[in-house]
Amino acid sequence: MIRTKTEASSGKPTCILCLALLSLFLPTATYAVSMPTISFGVENATNPDQVSTGLQILFLLTVLSIAPAILLMTTCFTRIVIVLGFVRQAMGTQNMPPTQVIIALSLFLSFFIMAPTIDRINVEALQPYLNEEINQNDALTKAVQPMRDFMFSQVKESELTMLSGITMDNKPFDQKDIPTMTLIPAFMLSELKRAFQMGFMIYVPFLVIDMVVASILMSMGMMMLPPVIISMPFKLLLFVLVDGWALIVGSLIQSFKG
């Protein structure tokens, strides 16, 4: 049977497509046998040390999975991201700057502020442990202490007293008497309190601009025109003229040094 030219030309793309799909699946089938696999278990352990090592690895993986929560609870990230969020809401720019930009800026500012604490952990805990000068328990103890010192430098006495009275039977006489599990929520409450205080101070000048613009529009009889549309350019102009981002970031950094 003789095929026409149209049938032959229509069959060629079909063959090329089949060959392309086959070339995609053939390497997968070829390399699937030789791909390395990773397994984790303690079924072949011959001594208690091997079981302990496996459990330590499992614990480390668990800690890594909650690392974002640890970042939120024990560092300055909470205060920074809340204040930057207040700035965006006060200007009324909705999603400008985007949430990803705010989180990225907050993260790098957190690393900048926490740099002395991280260096202290590296010098006092990590490097001695890597050099086999101290054991794992001592390394963990020495690593927690710089974080406790940072949190104690920022926590408010009122929040710390409240949580200590709830969780502890005896009144603590020193910072060493306060457990870390009591210090962390007190530190977070203090960070939330300071962040909202700074957010209130940021809102005030923008609120004044909104009120002035709304009063002018009402006096001109423009009742149906939303004041937010008119006041937004003025708020952006004010923010740019006073170099608002530098002032806010500088104030955030200075707030952790006070």
Q: What is the pLDDT of residues 27-61, one digit of tens each?
A: 444 444 445 555 555 555 555 555 566 666 777 77
* Per-residue 3-state assignment (H helix, E strand, C coil) for 79-144: HHHHHHHHHHHHHCCCCCCCHHHHHHHHHHHHHHHCHHHHHHHHHHHHHHHHCCCCCHHHHHHHHH
Q: Do 90 and 203 touch, CB atoms closer than 8 A?
A: yes
- End-to-end CA distance of the chain: give it in Å, rounded: 92
158-204 pLDDT tens trace: 888 888 777 776 776 667 778 888 888 889 999 999 999 998 998 88
d(CA 136, CA 130): 10
Q: Are 78 and 72 in contact (CB under 8 A)?
A: yes
Domain boundaries, the chain: 62-199+244-255
Helices 77-91, 244-255: axis angle to 10 degrees equals 150
